[in-house]
Each structure stands twice: as C-alpha cells, then as structure tokens.
Structure 1
Amino acid sequence: MAGIYIHIPFCLQACHYCDFHFSTNRKHAPEMVSMICRELKLRKDYLPEGEAIHTLYFGGGTPSLLTADQIREIHDAIHTHFDCQLLETTLEANPDDLEAKKLDAWLALGIDRLSIGIQSFDDDVLKFYNRSHNARESLLAIDKARKAGFKSLSMDLIYGFPYKDHSIWQADLAQTLALTPDHISSYCLTIEPKTALGVWEKKGKFQAASEDFQAEQFEILQQSLEKAGYLQYEISNFARDKAFSLHNSNYWKGVPYLGIGPGAHSFDGAHRGSNIAHNTRYIRLLEENKPAFRQETLSATEQINEYLLTSLRTIWGIDPAFLLEKFGWDLLKEKKKALSDMQQQGLIQMEYQSISLSNKGKLLADYLAAKLFI
C-alpha cells in the first residue's frame, strides 16, 4: 500500500512557528509545477516493483495556493507514471483558500479528504502566529467544504500557546468539537531556532509555556476528545468512526512512499532520502534532468530504532514478533528490565503480542522509545 507525497513549497506568508521548507515568493510556481511533474517521471521506478499507489497526499507549504489547473497537472502526471489504485487523496488547505471553484475542481479530480490548517479560533492567537486567516474564515471554510461535498475533513490545532490559564485552549476545543470533523490533528507549539519565535525567544522577547503547562493542555486534549468519541490512534492524531489518515498511518507502519518536490522525503523499505530543500536549485537540477534526491541506506540498527520510535506512537504499538522475524532481534529479551519498569509505572500496555503506550505514557513517548533503542 505505497503512497506518494507531493510537497508544494509556497505559502502566502510565513507563520512565526513554522520551520518547514517553503517560500512566500510564488513567481516560479509554474516552473515548480512542471519540475514536480518531471520528477514524477524520473522517479517512477523508485518504489518496489509492483507496488500500486493507494494514497496520495498534497502537503507543504500550502497546496491550496496553487490553481486548480496546476493541481490537475500534477495529478495527471501521477496517474500517467504510476499504477494508481487510490483509497485516499488528501490536500492540505488554508481556510482563506477554500473558494467554491477550487473545491469543485478538487472533488472532480478525486481529492476526497481536506486537512485544514485552523490552528486556533482565537483571532489574537492567529495574529500572533501570523496566520493568513481569522476565526470567521475558518468557520466559513468548514461550511464551504461540506456544502461542496467533502465528507472527510481533518482540522489542525496547536496547543501550548503561553497564557495565564487554559481558557483559550478549552474554547478552541469546544469550537472544534461543535464542528464535528471526523479527524483532528493537534500539535504542541514548538519553538524552532530559525523561526521568528525562536529568534524572539533568543532575544528575550518571547517566553514559551512551561512543560507542565503544555502537558496539562495535552491531557485536556485527550480527555475532551475521548469524551466526544474520538480515538487517539497516534500521539497527535484523533479520529471518529475509524477515519484514520491512511497515508500518515502508512508512514508510522513503515510502508514505502515516494516524496516529490523540494525538501520531500522518501522511503523504499530499506533506504531513506530527501530532496534538496531549495526551490531554485531544485528547479535547475530537474531542468537538466538531474536528481534532486540524496539517498542513505539504513543499517539494521537504524531500521529497528526507527520502527520503535514510530510504532510506539500508535495504537497498533510495537510488534516484538515482527522485529524477531525481520531482524532477528528479541525485544522482549534484550529490553526485559526496561519494559518491566515501564509496565510497573503504568506507562505501557503489553497485550496480544503488542506493546503500546498508556495515556500517561503518551506524555513521554519519545523518551520511552529511546529507552528501547539499541
């Protein structure tokens, strides 16, 4: 069940927390689209032979900034060069881009799932983040998408905004739940060094919320969404009626995927790599039919550690039998004491030959995974 990820490296403006690869200069968008199509052709044999494409994901950046014709051009190139048996096609969108004509065009292409970057319903918070939309536009966007015919909607939220109490976060969750999306992705506000927030923090102009404050908001998130019928199937992702993101679930399960566009990552099952994260250089290389991709071969140890890290974040958890069969590594034997300690502390659950995190353990996911690394 392989997937293709298309990275669209353009944004209307720079959010103060974002460290993904993007540019606010869209002058070369037509050339970028053409070179993305060329890369699809050049790398059509990257995935294991016979792998059909079951999931397609337009991410970024802001894919919804492209015209409907530009999305169609990429979409057609994918279908030309790959065996597409699509079960899910997702497009990330900002609320202020959801025009009726675009929505209709996306649906006509088979895009059946929108991931909408709401982040907050508080206008002051949105301004602080330098988002290009306001709360009213978010509400209108959800309404437009549903009227157009989109049944699967995911909403992105950010928690951990520094404030005197949890009232803003509680209001954000209440408004989100009132809109009843089938999927919610929620991430902690992380301060990266090269972002505006990172620069402000270094200069003493901004202070992030404490770890305790962030943990409290994570617990409010878990409790609120569980009460509303959402299943936390991955640390940052919640769904009703099993409306899991198939594409992202495959990432966590180690399924091969092809990443196209500047800064995109790929994985063929044993090798991982990434494209150059520079728009102009990417375009120049592809114009010369040269690869913009750099590959690395993962050692068995790296593959095991990566599996532990990603699997522990999900409801499916770690499968010790899989590790023993594929790598000859006995997790239950090699990490017996660490697993016993975690279980006694109520951080993990061990049942049906799988190891998964308890709600308490989800607060320490990366730390616990590192304890199991080789």
Structure 2
Amino acid sequence: MAGIYIHIPFCKQACYYCDFHFSTSMKKKDEMIDALIQEIHLRKDEITEPVETIYFGGGTPSVLSNKEIDQILESVFSLFDVVEYPEITLEANPDDLQIERIHQLAESKINRLSIGVQSFYDEDLQMMNRAHNADEAWNSLVEATKYFDNISIDLIYGIPNLSMNRWKANVQKALNLGINHISTYALTVEPKTALAKLVKMGKIPNPNDGEAHEHFLALVEMLENAGFVHYELSNFGKPNYFSKNNSAYWLGKKYVGIGPSAHSFNGTHRSWNIANNALYIQAIQKGTLPNEVEKLTVQDRYNEYVMTGLRTIWGVSLKRIETEFGTHYKDYLVKEASAFITKQQLVLENDVLKTTINGKFFCDGIASELFWVD
C-alpha cells in the first residue's frame, strides 16, 4: 500500500510558530491547482502499489473550494490504483468550517478531517496569531462531528503561560466532543519564524521544556485513560482510528508528495520539491519536476528506521535490523541502547526496542544517540 500527499501552500495569515512552506497571497491559486494536477499526471507511474491514503496538507487546504478539491481528486483516482475505501484527509482550520461548508465536505470524497484547533482558549490562539477564535474552534467541531466520524484535531502544549489546569481543560474539551484522534505538539521556536523574532525581542517568553514535559505526561495519562492508544510520539488514536497517512510515514511505506515543498519516498530514494510557488509553477508548466533526489545509503535507512521506530508503539525490531542492515548494526544498536535501558528510557521486549513513558518525550534525542555515524 502507498500514499499520496498533496501540499496546498496557501494560508489566510501566518501563525507565529509556523515554518512550513506557504503564501498568504492567493493570486496564483488557480495556476497552482492546474500545476498540482499536471504534476499528478507527470508522476502517475511512480507508484504501482494500491493507494490507501490521500492527504491534503499545507498550508491550509480548507481555503480550496469543494470544486477545486474534486478536480485534484479526480486526477488522482483516474491515474492511480486507489483502493475501494481510501482514507482521504483534509486539513482544515476552524474559521473555514462554517455549517454550510461542513455540509458540502460531507458530500464530497473527503472522509477524514484534521482540524487545526491548537487551543480552545483565545489567549493561546492570539499569542500564536491563529486566524480563528475559541468559539469558532468549538462550534466547528460540534457541527463537524455530526457528519464526520473520523476527525483528528491538533493541540499545542508548552505554550508560555499555559497553566496545567488550562492544558488539561483543553484536552478534556476534545474528549467531551468525542474526538477519536488527537495530534499534539510542543510549541517549538523554529529559526526565521515570527515567534523566534518575538522571543528574541523579549515580547514572548521562550517556551519552557520542563513545563512542556509536564504537559506531555498529563496528556498521555488523560488520553490513555480515555481509551486512546499512544501509537506515535505526537499521535493518539482510538482503536481503528489511527491515521493511515501518519502510519504509512512511520512504517516506511512509499508515498508521493505533490506540490511545492512536498517530500516523496519510494523505498530507496527520497525527493523534495522546490519550496517556491512561482518557480514550482513555472517548472511544472514546462513539464519538468522541480525536485531534488537523494539516494539513501544503508546508514541513512538504518538511522531513519531507528528514529521512526522509537517514536511508535511498533518500536525497532532487532531481527529487522540484522536482516536489512547486518549483524554489526544490530550489535551496535544493542550496545548504544544499553545506557538508555539502564535509565529506563528504553526497554527491550521480544527483540523489539521501544521507548518507555520516561523516554517517549525525549525519543528524538535518544534516537540521535543511536544513529550510526561514520
């Protein structure tokens, strides 16, 4: 099985923390949609496996009309072998999800919404420069849950001045709405973002890692008690509601990324499109793919498997390490992991290395210590 990711590089306004590729100008939207469809045609032979997940990410895909979404999906369905019941996700912002729009989406091929709530409190939303307010977040979900069973929401923790009580209230509001999938992220100050500038100027406090860790532990406890499975560092889902798109990435399945800045993976090579709307459109109009391609070495593939595996409930299989990469890689991993096992941040069960609750929050850092470096 494989997946298709479609990057919609437009937003109404820039969130302070965001370092994804997007434009707040919609002037080239029509040209962009034509280019996306043309790229789909150019890459129709890259995947022979059945496509089980189609994901509209961004940016803010909900700025597209239903007609525009349908045009893109028609190209995908006509050119790829799409399974009978694919997961088709649209990332959406609450301010785009008025009642009429939700009704329209419910009648389209979209069968999963990923809604960028981030917080149910105005003070948090204003600090992050989100386009919606708390009422819009709540009301959009009340309406969306009437028509969509498969809904995910994003929440951000570690926000400066976010008390534990308010964070728990955020999570509880999601539970009260009956949401079946929740993605959560610690607020991170990325270089060249508005947030980085504001922190440097002293206008916003630097996020506190200790507070973020406490928020994370409270989150895990609340969601697991509510029947969620913590299947990946940032993702929690009820059984049968894991994101197929997310899981495909973490399990190393093939996917094609369409649109500016989109990444692709075919099992041996990784590629990424240029992160510039105008240059992307120009190249596609000429029939060329504006991307860079990297062939992954054995070392690259080992490091990626360790990183992705430790983030998930599936862990890192020593048998797979030995089979795919060799005994020396397995022996190296066991040796380097021993210190983290002693600290109870990792555990080795049935020849599978996994992070414990003590290590989960730090798993990216732990993984980097287990990388094979020449």
| Band of TM-score, shorter chain | over 0.9
Q: Which amino acid aligns with 1:107?
A: A
**CA distance, structure 2, for counterparts of residue 201 and residue 251 of structure 1:** 32
The 8 Å contact of residues 314 and 354 in structure 2, kept in 1 or not, is answered as yes
- Aligned position for 2:276: 278
**CA distance, structure 2, for counterparts of residue 60 and residue 270 of structure 1:** 25
Identity rate, percent:
43
- Aligned position for 1:135: 134
The 8 Å contact of residues 310 and 363 in structure 2, kept in 1 or not, is answered as yes
Write the deviation string for residues 113-138 of structure 1: whole angstroms up to 9, x where unpaired. 10000000111111111111111111
Does residue 39 (structure 1) correspond to residue 39 (structure 2)? The answer is yes
SS at match of 1:361: helix
Which runs of structure 2 are paired with 1:1-374 in the superposition (5 Å)?
1-47=1-47, 50-85=48-83, 86-147=85-146, 149-163=147-161, 165-374=163-372
Deviation of the 1:331 alpha carbon: 4.3
The 8 Å contact of residues 62 and 91 in structure 2, kept in 1 or not, is answered as yes
Deviation of the 1:329 alpha carbon: 4.2
When residues 269 and 183 of structure 1 are mapped into structure 2, their CA distance, relative to the original with a 3 A threshold, is same
Deviation of the 1:185 alpha carbon: 0.3
Q: Which runs of 5+ in 1 are unaligned?
A: none
Q: Which amino acid aligns with 2:179?
A: P
When residues 90 and 69 of structure 1 are mapped into structure 2, their CA distance, relative to the original with a 3 A threshold, is same
**CA distance, structure 1, for counterparts of residue 74 and residue 162 of structure 2:** 50
Deviation of the 1:145 alpha carbon: 1.2
Q: Which runs of 5+ in 2 are unaligned?
A: none
**CA distance, structure 2, for counterparts of residue 279 and residue 306 of structure 1:** 29
**CA distance, structure 2, for counterparts of residue 204 and residue 99 of structure 1:** 37
SS at match of 1:360: helix
SS at match of 2:163: coil
**CA distance, structure 1, for counterparts of residue 351 and residue 335 of structure 2:** 17
**CA distance, structure 2, for counterparts of residue 165 and residue 103 of structure 1:** 33
RMSD: 1.4
The 8 Å contact of residues 321 and 330 in structure 2, kept in 1 or not, is answered as no
SS at match of 1:244: coil
Deviation of the 1:107 alpha carbon: 3.3
Q: Which amino acid aligns with 1:326?
A: E
The 8 Å contact of residues 233 and 311 in structure 2, kept in 1 or not, is answered as yes
What is the TM-score normalised by the length of structure 2?
Answer: 0.96
**CA distance, structure 1, for counterparts of residue 13 and residue 301 of structure 2:** 37
**CA distance, structure 1, for counterparts of residue 336 and residue 301 of structure 2:** 20
Deviation of the 1:166 alpha carbon: 1.9
**CA distance, structure 1, for counterparts of residue 327 and residue 214 of structure 2:** 37
What is the TM-score normalised by the length of structure 1?
Answer: 0.96
The 8 Å contact of residues 11 and 60 in structure 2, kept in 1 or not, is answered as yes
